[in-house]
Structure 1
Amino acid sequence: MLYAGIAWTADGYDVELIDAGGDRALPPTRWGAERVPELTRWLGGAGREPGLPCVIVVESTNGLVDGVLTAAGLDVYRADPWVLPERPAFGSVSARALADRARTDLASLSPLTAEGGGQSGRDDDYHDGIRRSASVESALTLAGRCFRHGARDRQEIALTFDDGPDPVFTRQVLDILDRYGVRATFFCVGLHVNALPDEVRRITDAGHDIGNHTWSHPFLPDLTATQFRLQIERTSAAFERSVGEAPTLFRPPYGARTPEALGELLPDGPALALWDVDSWDWARPGPEKITKTVLDHARPGSMILMHDGGGDRRETVRALPAVIEGLLERDLRFVPAGELRAMAM
């Protein structure tokens, strides 16, 4: 058995591969965020004898690679804070610490699947965070700085895409949007914005809006207020380097909220953009199911959640034309999420 720990950093990912005795199977490696497909292929066969399995471990503050890895059929586990050393303010624990935890106590880690996503097994923490955040969320809403949909009496709707930019799927999504003359909003993660600035410029040059989706797609209940603030600030700075401006909208990974995190959005942080229609494309249920889910639940003012990164998005790309055509048949006009916010205020 081999154990691979993947740590996220300001620049990409550090990987340690150790054997059952705790010795390095291969020298440590470093991968830029633009090389995740290559990293996935490498993990599928790195230093491995025929039939020798490999367990891959990511931290709960790294929600960017698990979807790609599970789609490739690899065994991926999540390590939560209570089984790990203390994290730095920005970045995860070391790749070696992650690999060692899997080697010494695999039962303390949570197996991840495409259907469950990166927060598998954390439903209680998720809902507790949302419950505790209710008063802060209400304050943001009253200030016009939190919304999940626009006005219901206007024939407007917003398509939004999370977890990019991706060098393959973002371009395919952009091509489809261009074909139909549709404007959308892309909530991007800082690691990818930093690694793929040209892809961010493709988005804005095509007339689409951008949003902040944190740096590493963490599960927010596992962040301190300082760690959350750094995720937002570093991502905004990456946007400023690539396109000259920071987003005015923020979407939390998985929709998770905590009062500590939301408190960092007051009084002058980005507005909180949620959604009222989840396409469930992240679970890869098939393009027909994705299309049906959207068309069954969308109505005037809806903000639709889809994904252009963070996993295998071929089903999203295949579903998107039918989604757009179905909504156009209802005489709905596509607008960026920020315009829905303005109409909801």
Structure 2
Amino acid sequence: MWYAGIGWGADGYEIVAVDGAGAPVAPPNRFDGTGTAEPVAYLRSLAERNGGDLIAVIDSTNGVVDGELMAAGVTVYRADPWDVAPRPAFGSPPATALAEAARSRLSRLTRLSLDSGTLGGREDQADADIDRGAPVERELIARGRCIVHAGRAQPEVALTFDDGPHPVHTPRVLDVLRRYRVTATFFCVGLHVRAHPGIAARIADEGHTLGNHTWSHPYLPDLGRDEVLGQVDRTAEALRRATGETPTLLRPPYGGRSPEVLSWLAEAGQTTVLWDVEAADWAMVGAPAIVRNVVDGTDFGSIILLHDGGGDRSQTADALPGILEFLLVRGCRFVPVDHLLASVRVPTQA
């Protein structure tokens, strides 16, 4: 078996691959400013060289490559903060440390699947963090600094897309939105904006709103205050360079939040954007199921979560016309998230 650690930093990715004895099977490889296609292709080629016997390892601060790797047939494991050496001030643990963690103590790591997503196995912890943050979340909603959905009186919904920009899927999504004359909100990952600034600029040029989705798509409750704000600030700067605007809307990856994270974001001037309609398109459930999930769950004031990056999003692009046609027939108007903020209310308990 070969083991490949995938590290990330301010410029891109580093991959280190070793065999079962810890010897390198290829020189360390850097992918700066390339997006995900090249590192994914490289890891797939390593797997093919070894007859498919390759395990790729990310850590919990990296939610940008595992979906595409699994879609390409590569086995992926996740290391959590207690599994690897301390992180640098900005970036993941070294790729070498991640490869060694898999080689020497694979049983302590978590195997990922498209069904479970990057946070597979940590759902209970994520739910507990959200529960702890509920009082802060309610207070921020009342102040207009957090939104789950808007009021239900007006026939308005917000269509949102996470994890882009992607060089293939985002343009497809934009083409559909332009054809139907619909505006949306795109929550962008900084590493992807750095790799594809022209696509981010197109999103803005076509009248859509851009939001911040952090630099590397980490589980934010794993990070300290400076790390969280570093993720936010670097992404904001990348978006400013690409579009001329600095966003103040932020969606935490996976919706991961705690009282500390919510407070840090609010203190930094960010409005946290959540959702009440989950399409589950990240799990690649098929275009018809994506359409059903959205149209069955949407009410006036809803915020709909879809994805234009982070994996193979061809099903999302295929589903989008059906979603739009169903909701337009219902009389829904599609508006950016910031338009909904004026009618925010505290959600009632079920």
TM-score normalized by structure 1? 0.97
**Does 1:31 find its partner at 2:45?**
no
Which one-letter code corresponds to 1:15 in the other structure? I
CA–CA distance in structure 1, aligned partners of residues 33 and 315 of structure 2: 22
**1:106-125 residue pairs with structure 2 within 5 A?**
106-125=106-125
Which one-letter code corresponds to 2:36 in the other structure? V
- Deviation per CA, 1:3-45, whole angstroms, max 9, x where unpaired? 1000011011000011111111100001135342222222112
CA contact (8 A) 1:217 1:253 kept: yes
**Does 1:314 find its partner at 2:314?**
yes
**1:188-203 residue pairs with structure 2 within 5 A?**
188-203=188-203
Which one-letter code corresponds to 2:9 in the other structure? T
CA–CA distance in structure 1, aligned partners of residues 295 and 32 of structure 2: 37
Give how far 1:270 is off. 1.2
CA–CA distance in structure 2, aligned partners of residues 180 and 202 of structure 1: 17
CA–CA distance in structure 2, aligned partners of residues 15 and 227 of structure 1: 22
CA contact (8 A) 1:188 1:213 kept: yes
Corresponding residue number in structure 2 for 1:105: 105
Corresponding residue number in structure 2 for 1:146: 146
**Does 1:270 find its partner at 2:270?**
yes
Q: For 2:30, what is the secondary structure of its paired residue?
A: strand
Corresponding residue number in structure 2 for 1:45: 45
Q: For 2:144, what is the secondary structure of its paired residue?
A: coil
CA contact (8 A) 1:239 1:246 kept: yes
Give how far 1:324 is off. 0.3
CA–CA distance in structure 2, aligned partners of residues 322 and 201 of structure 1: 26
Q: For 1:162, what is the secondary structure of its paired residue?
A: strand
CA contact (8 A) 1:2 1:52 kept: no
Which one-letter code corresponds to 1:242 in the other structure? A
Give how far 1:343 is off. 2.6
CA–CA distance in structure 1, aligned partners of residues 240 and 40 of structure 2: 30
CA contact (8 A) 2:47 2:74 kept: no
Which one-letter code corresponds to 1:241 in the other structure? R
**Does 1:206 find its partner at 2:206?**
yes
Corresponding residue number in structure 1 for 2:182: 182
Corresponding residue number in structure 2 for 1:218: 218
Corresponding residue number in structure 2 for 1:241: 241
Give how far 1:241 is off. 1.2
CA contact (8 A) 1:34 1:167 kept: no
- Deviation per CA, 1:47-92, whole angstroms, max 9, x where unpaired? 8545250110001100000000011111000000001111122100
Corresponding residue number in structure 1 for 2:159: 159
CA–CA distance in structure 2, aligned partners of residues 249 and 76 of structure 1: 31
Runs of 5+ consecutive residues of structure 1 not aligned to the other structure: none
CA–CA distance in structure 2, aligned partners of residues 263 and 344 of structure 1: 19
CA–CA distance in structure 1, aligned partners of residues 246 and 81 of structure 2: 30
CA–CA distance in structure 2, aligned partners of residues 35 and 262 of structure 1: 29
Corresponding residue number in structure 2 for 1:231: 231
- Deviation per CA, 1:80-124, whole angstroms, max 9, x where unpaired? 000111112210000000000100011011000011000000012
Corresponding residue number in structure 2 for 1:286: 286
Which one-letter code corresponds to 1:331 in the other structure? G
Give how far 1:268 is off. 4.8
The verdict on how the C-alpha distance between 1:184 and 1:47 changes in structure 2, with shifts beyond 3 A counting, is closer
Q: For 1:58, what is the secondary structure of its paired residue?
A: strand
Q: For 1:254, what is the secondary structure of its paired residue?
A: helix
CA–CA distance in structure 2, aligned partners of residues 167 and 192 of structure 1: 9
CA contact (8 A) 1:276 1:303 kept: yes
Corresponding residue number in structure 2 for 1:323: 323
Give how far 1:142 is off. 1.8
Which one-letter code corresponds to 1:288 in the other structure? P
Which one-letter code corresponds to 1:58 in the other structure? I
CA–CA distance in structure 2, aligned partners of residues 47 and 142 of structure 1: 51
CA–CA distance in structure 2, aligned partners of residues 299 and 187 of structure 1: 22
The verdict on how the C-alpha distance between 1:196 and 1:52 changes in structure 2, with shifts beyond 3 A counting, is closer
Which one-letter code corresponds to 2:308 in the other structure? D
Give how far 1:262 is off. 1.2
Identity of aligned residues (%): 50
Which one-letter code corresponds to 1:74 in the other structure? V
Q: For 1:4, what is the secondary structure of its paired residue?
A: strand
CA contact (8 A) 1:25 1:47 kept: no
Which one-letter code corresponds to 1:257 in the other structure? R
- Deviation per CA, 1:164-208, whole angstroms, max 9, x where unpaired? 000110000000000000000000011111221111100000000
Corresponding residue number in structure 2 for 1:70: 70
TM-score normalized by structure 2? 0.96
Which one-letter code corresponds to 2:111 in the other structure? P
The verdict on how the C-alpha distance between 1:155 and 1:76 changes in structure 2, with shifts beyond 3 A counting, is same
CA–CA distance in structure 1, aligned partners of residues 209 and 44 of structure 2: 36
CA–CA distance in structure 1, aligned partners of residues 49 and 232 of structure 2: 42
Which one-letter code corresponds to 1:344 in the other structure? V
Give how far 1:225 is off. 1.4
Q: For 2:267, what is the secondary structure of its paired residue?
A: coil
Corresponding residue number in structure 1 for 2:348: none
